[in-house]
Amino acid sequence: MTVQDLMNKDIVRVVNAGDDTDREIEKVFCCDLLSIAMGKAPAGCAWVTVMANLNTLAVASLADAACVILAEGSQMDENGVKKAQMQGITLLETDAPVFDAALAVYRAMEAEGSPA
């Protein structure tokens, strides 16, 4: 499943469509500890977190995440949205809890026959 496919579903709201929405989502990754995400987030992941700050975007870039999904109603502030736009990072949000959001993405990937 591509990032664009995910954006077209009712699972998330689009805050910023990044530069590579045709990119395949390889895995779903959940983590709110940035230091762990920096070392363990797999490239091409849909990263689900509640951490809505500039450091999250930096880690997403370093980890080469396909997109960031802010869960539990977390919202990036205006500076963070501008930074996501400047860096071409796809930033999505949902009111769903982290687990429920990740499970919805995983199920959507399975339905499309994508590796999860």
84 Cα distance to chain centroid:
12
Which stretch of DSSP H or E encloses residue 47?
strand 45-49
Mean pLDDT of 11-24: 97
Mean pLDDT of 103-116: 87
Distance CA 106, CA 112 (A): 10
Mean pLDDT of 45-73: 97
The pTM score is 0.96
